[in-house]
Structure 1
Amino acid sequence: MATFFQSIFAAIFYLLKYSGRIVGVIILLMVIALIAGKTYQNWDDDPDRGAIALENGEFGESFTTPVYLDQGWTEAESLWFYNTTQGSALMPYDLFMSLEQENSNKLLRDNHNIDKYRYLPQKETFLNPDGLPVGLVKDTYQGNDYIGYTCAACHTNQVNFTKDGITSAIRIDGGPAMADMVGFLTAIEKSMRATLADEAKKTRYVETVLARNNDFKKEAKVIESTEQWLKTISLYNTVNHSHIDYGYGRLDAFGRIYNRVLQHMINKQQLANTMEMVTAPGTNGERRRVLTRDQIDLVLEGVNENIIVDKQFGLVLDRLASTEPGYPGLNQRDLLRVRNSIFNEPNAPVSYPFLWDIGQADYTQWNGVANNAGVGPLGRNTGEVIGVFGILDWTSHEPNGFELSTLITDQKNKNEVVNFKSSIDVTNLRRLEAQLKRLQSPVWPQEILGEIDQVKAERGQLVYAQYCQSCHEVVDRNNADRIIIANMMDINLVGTDKAAAINGVMATGKSGNFQHTVQSITGVGDVFISEDAPVLQILTSATKGVIATPDPDKFFIRRWLDRLYVLGSSFFENKMPETVKKGNYVADTTSNPYSSLLAYKGRALNGIWATAPYLHNGSVPTLYDLLLPKKLDTDPAEGEYRPDEFVVGSREFDANRVGFKSKDYDGSAFITTRVGDMNTGHEYGAGKTAQNNGEVLPALSEKERWDLIEYLKTL
C-alpha cells in the first residue's frame, strides 16, 4: 500500500511541475477523489455483512444470522456490492420510506414484509444507514433522492438448512435471488392506492414524509408526487402484465427492458398510426377499429412529438380509459389490444443468472446476445438499468454541433437528434463489473450441509465426463486466468422451453428516431433500422446513446474524465477477445441476422448446487429431477419423472436431491404446461436428448444419477 501511495504522489508532483497550474490542480483533486473513494469503499466492514436473523418469516421460516462462504470477497466488498447505486429510481426515497402496507399500518419496508417477497433483510451499516434490504439503495439524481435497485437485488441468494431443530442460513454472493419482483411492484402500487384512498393512512403517511425534512416541505407536494408516481408504477405494471405468472425467482428482464425502450423511442406520429390500426371483432365477422382518428387526436393532445416520457404515457393510458366527452372509454380488453399493438408481452420469465465468473465469460446471457469483449459488459449493464427504473430524461432537439451520442447512433442526418440524458451511472456499472471479476463460486459447505461421499463423487465424475462435460467444462475456481466458454445449443436440439429465445429475436416495435439509421451487426454487416424493427436493434442503439452521454450530475471536467475512464478501461482492462460463439446452433446470415440467438448456453457448473431451480426458466426444482425424463402421455404411470407441478419460494435446502423445498407450503405454484413454463428438454441423463455429436446415450440408472449428484456437489 505504501508503494501505491508513493507512486501516486510522485505522479502528482510531475503533473504539477510540467502541466499548467489549473490543469495540475484539477488532476490533483481527481486523484484525491480517487483515493478517498477507494478508502470510503472499504469503511463498511461489518463482520456479518449486514445480515440479520429472522423469526417466523415467510412460510414460517426462522433462521440464525446468515454466514458467508469464502467467495473471494471481503466483508467490505460484499457490502459495497449491495449498496452501490447504478442509477435506478423506482420512486422518491421519502415516499417509499414512509409508505405503509395496503392493509396494515406497518411500513411496506418492514423486514417481515420484505422477506415475503424474498428480498434479504439487512441491519444498519455504514453504507446502509437506513437498513434497507440487499439490493435496495438510496440513489440521488438531479438533487432528489430515490429508492432504486442495485445488482445485488437479483443476484444475491440465501440457502437455509435445518438440522437438530436449528436452521442455519448461508448467504451466497452473486447467486440467483428468490425475489418476487412482480409481487413487490404490485404491492407498492396497491399500497399507494390505499394510502390515497384512506384518510387516516394518508394523514400518517404525509406526516412521516414531512418529518423526514428532505425533498418534501408541503403536504400538497407529497400528494401530488404520490399521485404522479402511482401513475408511473401503474403504467409499468400495466405495460408488463403477462398471462404467465412469474412467481418467485424468475423475471422476464429482457421483455421488460424491451418495453421500456419502446415506450421512450416511439414518436407521436408512430403512436397515432399504431393506435389507428388496432381492431377488434365486429359484427358479421368483420373487424372494427377500436379508436377513431378524432379520439386518437384527443388522447394524444399535448404529447411530445419525438420522445414520450413516463408522465405523458401515463396520461395517454388514463385518457384511453376516460369516459369524459370525446374520449374513447375503452374497456379492459380493448385497452390490452392497444397495449399489445405497441408493446410485446413479457411472457418468458427466466431464472436470475448467477454472477460468479461473469467477468471471465465470453458470453453471459442465456441466449448469448452480447459478446463480453470491449464495451460489451457496459452495454449489457446499461440495458439492465434501463429495465430497472433508470430515469430516462430523453429529449430531442435540432443538431447543434458535435455530440458523441449522435455520431455512434447514426443520427447525424436527422432533422432532430435524441439526447440520452439519464440517471444511469455508467461509471459505477464499470466499477461493479470490475469487482465481479474477483467473485468466486461457493464451495459446498460440508460442515453445514453434510459431507460429500467421495467414493460416489469419483464414480460420478466419470458419468459427468461422458454425459455433461462436452457442454459444461470443468474449471478451477481459483485460477485467476480462467475463461468460461459458453456452449450454445440450438433450441430445437436442446429441447427446452423456446419462449425466451424466440422473444429475444422476434419482438418488434416502433423505432422512433432510429428509423433509417444504420447499425452494424457483428459477423453480418450493416443494416438499416426500419420503422418496425427488432427491439434488439432499438435497444442496442439506445444503450450506445446512454453510454456516450455524460453524467448530468457531475461537473463538466469530471463528466468527461469519468467517460474516458469508462471507455478506456473497457477496452484496455477487459482482456476478453471478441470470439465466435462455440456450440451447435444456426449461424447468423444477411437474411436472418439473429439466428444464432435461437439457442441457449451451457456453461461451467461450479457452484451449481446453490442455484436452484434449474433450466433457464426455473422449471425443474432439483438437480436430481433434472436427470429424470419429462413424462409424456405415452409414458407408463410408474417410474420416475420430472414434477409437472411444484412450489417455489422456500429457502429451505434439500441437500439430498440438491435444490429447494418444493412442496407442502404456500409458495408460488409452478405448473409446467404452458409455453414459458415448460420443463421439457435437456434430457441427456434420461436418454432422450442427443449429445453434440448426435449420439443419444443410454438413460442413467438410479445409482448413476446419485453418483452424478454427489460429483456435482464438488464443483
Structure 2
Amino acid sequence: MRIFSRVLLLILIALSLMLAVVLYYTLNPKLPDYVPVEQVHYQDQWSAADRQTYYFTPQGTQVKGLHYDWFTALELPFSEQRFTAPEYLARFGFLVDPKQVLTTQNPGNLPVGFARHQNADSKVQYLDITCAACHTGELHFKGQALRIDGGSAQHVLPSSVPTLRGGSFGQALVASLAATYYNPWKFERFARKVLGDQYDAQHDQLRKDFKQSLNQFLKVAWNDTHRGLYPTEEGPGRTDAFGRIANASFGDAISPDNYRVANAPVDYPQLWDIWTFDWVQWNGSAQQPMARNIGEALGVGATLAFFDSAGQPLQGDARYPSSVRVRDLHLIEETLQRLKPPTWPEDLFGAIDKPLAVQGRALFAENCAGCHIPTVTEENGRPVQQLKMLPVDYIGTDPGTASNIADQRYDLSALQWDPAELAQLNVELHPTPTAPLDLKRMSVAQGLAYVTAFVEEHAYRAAGVTPAERPGLDGFGLPIGVRELRAYKARPLAGVWATPPFLHNGSVPTIYQLLSPQDERSTTFYKGTFNYDPRHLGFETAAFKNAFLFDTRVTGNHNSGHEFRAGARGNGVIGRGLLPQERWALLEYLKVLGGPQEQQLP
C-alpha cells in the first residue's frame, strides 16, 4: 500500500510539474524580439485612402464576443504593460509602423487588420479582425521595411492550443484575459479604464460579461486541445482555413460529431488581381466573391445562429442571422479591385540585372508560361483569367489540403434542409450531382456553400440590399459555385517575389529553392522573421531567438513537387533540370514580371 501511495504521489508531482511548465509558457510566450525598422516604405499599389479603408473596415467578426475597449485595456499577465502596445503585438508578426498614431479609423492605435464594429441591435463595439490582418505583408532589409499591400501575412494568429513554445497570439490573449479576470487588482485597473465614471453602476455587470467572453475562449482552447484537432503546428503565416471554418461552423455550431482533424495548414495568398480569377482558394473550390468573403468572416469569428432559443433548427427567412457585414465586405472587395501588384524597389533591394532578366524571360516562356500565363476572356464586364488547375498526382505537392476538402464529410441533417429549398438557392455544384444530396455526408465545400447562401440571403435583407444591387454585391452576378478538385491552381506570378514562403503550404522558403529539385531544398528552416533575402527571393532562414522551426517531414508540411529535374513529367516533376545560372536568370525576370520594369527590358 505504501509503495502504491508513493507511486501515486510521484505521478501527481510529475503531472503538477508538467502543468506548471505549460502554464509558464502560456503566460510567458516565447516570442521573437521586436526590432523596429527605421522607416516603412509604401508603394503606389493603391491610394492612401484605399489603404486605410482596407486596413480598418470591419467585416463582422466578433472574436468570441470580445469588446474593442476591453481589448485595448488588457494588460500582460505579469505586468501592467498594455497587451495591445504596438511593440508587443508586433512580436506576434502583426504589422505596425513605428510612426503610426491613433486615428478615427484606428482609435486603439492597433496593427493592420484590427478593426471594430457595432451591430444594429447593440451599443457594444466588438473587436473585429478583418481580412487585412492576414493579407498584408512586409519585407525588411537593412533596417528598412517594404509594406506589401494585399500580400502574405506572417503572424501567429489562429491557435489557442497551449504549447510549450507558447508563441501564438490566441494563446497569449487567453492568458491575459484569464489573468485579468482572476487577479483582482488587475481587474480593478481594467474596470476603471473601461467604465470610467460608470464604474460603480456597471462594475458587476462588466465582470459577468467579461467572464462570458473568457468562457468562450477557454471552451475553444479546451476543445481544440483535448480533441487534438490541429496536430500540425501552423506557425507564422499559416492556418488550416477550411478545417477551422468547418470545425467552427459544423462542429461548434451543430454537433461535436462534426469535428475533423485539420492537419493541412496553408499560407495566406496574395490578393492582387484575385477579382479577375475564374476560381479562387488554393484548390480552386470557390467562385463568388461575396460567398468567399462570408465564409472567411465566419471562420474568423462572425456569429452564426442555426437554432432558436429552444434548440430547434431555424426555418424559412429566419435562416441564418449572423454578424456578417455584407456592405463592408463589398467595400473591401471593391477596394481590392484597385490594388496593383508590388514593383521591385531597386532603391531598397538593389538594381535589376536587365541582361540577365532578358535571359530569364526566355526561360520563363520555356518552363513556366504554360501553367502560369492563363487565358483571359471578358465576362460580365470584367477580365476573367482562366487559371490552370494542376492535379495533385501531377504537381506532386503536399496533398493534405486538397484531399481534406474533397474527402471529409459532415452530418448537417440537424439543420433540416429541404432539398427543394436548396435547389432554389443561388448555388451551383460542379459537376452537377447525379444523385440526391445526402445531408448526413456533406463535404465542407458543399456545406459551406449552402450555409453561406442562407447567411447571404439573410444579411442582404437585414442590410436593405435591393434586387438591383444584389448582382454587384455578389460580384459580377456570379453564383455560389463549388468545386472539389484534388488539384491546386497555378496563379499568375506578377509580384511573386514579394510573397514568401512558397507552395500552398509555405514549405519552400525561397524561389531559388522552388526552382531546384526537392533534394536541394531545406528539410528544416526557421520562420518568424521579416528579414528578406533579395538574392534568393525569400525570407532569411537562419536561426534566431525564439524562431519557429518549420519541419517539412511533418504531415501537411511536405516540400515535395513542383520540381525541375530530369525524369518523366508527372508525380512532381514539371520540367527539366535547371542549371544554377538559369535559376538566377529566372529570379531576375520574376522581379519585373507583370510590372512597368518588364516593359523596359530590351
TM-score (norm 2): 0.82
- For 2:587, the aligned partner's letter is I
- CA distance 1:564–1:127, shift in 2 (3 Å): farther
**Residue correspondence of structure 1 range 122-271 to structure 2 within 5 A:** 122-141=100-119, 142-143=121-122, 144-162=124-142, 167-181=143-157, 182=159, 183-211=168-196, 217-240=201-224, 241-263=229-251, 265-266=253-254, 271=255
Aligned match of 2:512: 624
Cα deviation digits, residues 149-189 of structure 1 (max 9, x gap): 11111011111111xxxx11111110011111131111111
Whole-angstrom distance in 1 between the partners of 2:478 and 2:358? 33
| 1:204 partner SS | helix
- For 1:100, the aligned partner's letter is E
8 Å Cα contact 1:509/1:533 also seen in 2: yes
Whole-angstrom distance in 2 between the partners of 1:616 and 1:711? 22
Whole-angstrom distance in 1 between the partners of 2:195 and 2:556? 45
Q: How much has 1:429 moved relative to structure 2? A: 1.1
1:690 to 569, 575, 585: 569
Aligned match of 2:338: 438
8 Å Cα contact 2:291/2:480 also seen in 1: no
Aligned match of 2:561: 681
Cα deviation digits, residues 392-436 of structure 1 (max 9, x gap): 2443499xxxxxx99xxxx66xxxx85311110011112211221
1:120 to 95, 99, 104: 95
8 Å Cα contact 1:427/1:563 also seen in 2: no
- CA distance 1:396–1:126, shift in 2 (3 Å): closer
Whole-angstrom distance in 1 between the partners of 2:214 and 2:589? 50
- CA distance 1:68–1:154, shift in 2 (3 Å): same
- CA distance 1:349–1:566, shift in 2 (3 Å): farther
Whole-angstrom distance in 1 between the partners of 2:69 and 2:338? 35
Aligned match of 2:449: 540
Question: Of the two structures, which has the highest relative contact order with CA contacts closer than 8 Å and spacing of 6 or more?
Answer: 2
Whole-angstrom distance in 1 between the partners of 2:449 and 2:78? 42
2:322 to 409, 422, 425: 422
- For 2:591, the aligned partner's letter is K
1:458 to 358, 367, 373: 358
**Residue correspondence of structure 1 range 301-700 to structure 2 within 5 A:** 341-371=257-287, 376-396=288-308, 419-473=319-373, 482-511=383-412, 512-514=414-416, 517=419, 518=422, 521-525=429-433, 527-550=436-459, 559-560=463-464, 562-564=465-467, 566-570=469-473, 574=476, 596-631=484-519, 641-665=520-544, 666-683=546-563, 685-687=564-566, 690=569, 697-700=575-578
- CA distance 1:84–1:625, shift in 2 (3 Å): same
- CA distance 1:611–1:105, shift in 2 (3 Å): same
Q: How much has 1:680 moved relative to structure 2? A: 0.6
| 2:489 partner SS | strand
Q: How much has 1:645 moved relative to structure 2? A: 0.4
Larger Rg: 1
Q: How much has 1:691 moved relative to structure 2? A: 6.7
Q: How much has 1:96 moved relative to structure 2? A: 1.1
TM-score (norm 1): 0.69
Whole-angstrom distance in 1 between the partners of 2:493 and 2:283? 17
Cα deviation digits, residues 535-574 of structure 1 (max 9, x gap): 322211110111101468x6xxxx32x3546513146x72
Cα deviation digits, residues 447-475 of structure 1 (max 9, x gap): 11101101111111111111111111189
- For 2:457, the aligned partner's letter is A
Cα deviation digits, residues 33-58 of structure 1 (max 9, x gap): xxxxxxxxxxxxxxxxxxxxxxxx94
- For 1:126, the aligned partner's letter is T
8 Å Cα contact 1:394/1:422 also seen in 2: no
**Residue correspondence of structure 1 range 39-118 to structure 2 within 5 A:** 58-59=32-33, 61-71=35-45, 73-90=46-63, 91-118=66-93
- For 1:698, the aligned partner's letter is R
8 Å Cα contact 1:629/1:688 also seen in 2: no
Q: How much has 1:80 moved relative to structure 2? A: 0.7
- CA distance 1:84–1:432, shift in 2 (3 Å): same
| 2:385 partner SS | coil
- CA distance 1:531–1:695, shift in 2 (3 Å): closer
Q: How much has 1:617 moved relative to structure 2? A: 0.2
Whole-angstrom distance in 2 between the partners of 1:343 and 1:578? 24
Aligned match of 1:587: none
Aligned match of 1:701: 579
Q: Identity of counterpart residues, as a percentage?
A: 32
- For 2:194, the aligned partner's letter is V
| 2:125 partner SS | strand
- CA distance 1:92–1:695, shift in 2 (3 Å): closer
8 Å Cα contact 1:359/1:434 also seen in 2: no
Return 191-200 or 153-162, whichever deviates more: 191-200
Whole-angstrom distance in 2 between the partners of 1:171 and 1:508? 40
- For 2:237, the aligned partner's letter is G
- Structure 2's unaligned 5+ residue stretches are 1-30, 160-167, 594-602
- CA distance 1:248–1:212, shift in 2 (3 Å): farther
Whole-angstrom distance in 2 between the partners of 1:363 and 1:191? 40
Whole-angstrom distance in 2 between the partners of 1:500 and 1:95? 36
- CA distance 1:364–1:342, shift in 2 (3 Å): closer
Q: CA RMSD for the aligned pairs?
A: 2.8
8 Å Cα contact 1:58/1:112 also seen in 2: no
Whole-angstrom distance in 1 between the partners of 2:408 and 2:569? 30
- For 1:549, the aligned partner's letter is H
Cα deviation digits, residues 99-145 of structure 1 (max 9, x gap): 11223221110112110111112421232222121101111123211
Whole-angstrom distance in 1 between the partners of 2:132 and 2:186? 32
8 Å Cα contact 2:408/2:443 also seen in 1: yes
Whole-angstrom distance in 2 between the partners of 1:346 and 1:238? 16
| 2:369 partner SS | coil
Whole-angstrom distance in 2 between the partners of 1:59 and 1:474? 42
Q: How much has 1:507 moved relative to structure 2? A: 2.1
Whole-angstrom distance in 1 between the partners of 2:387 and 2:138? 26
- Structure 1's unaligned 5+ residue stretches are 1-56, 272-338, 399-404, 580-592, 632-640
- For 1:492, the aligned partner's letter is D
Q: How much has 1:504 moved relative to structure 2? A: 1.1
Q: How much has 1:577 moved relative to structure 2? A: 9.9
Whole-angstrom distance in 1 between the partners of 2:197 and 2:517? 57
Whole-angstrom distance in 1 between the partners of 2:309 and 2:231? 39
8 Å Cα contact 2:118/2:126 also seen in 1: yes
Q: How much has 1:688 moved relative to structure 2? A: 5.4
Cα deviation digits, residues 295-334 of structure 1 (max 9, x gap): xxxxxxxxxxxxxxxxxxxxxxxxxxxxxxxxxxxxxxxx
Whole-angstrom distance in 2 between the partners of 1:151 and 1:608? 20
- CA distance 1:343–1:576, shift in 2 (3 Å): closer
8 Å Cα contact 1:489/1:600 also seen in 2: yes
8 Å Cα contact 1:394/1:418 also seen in 2: no
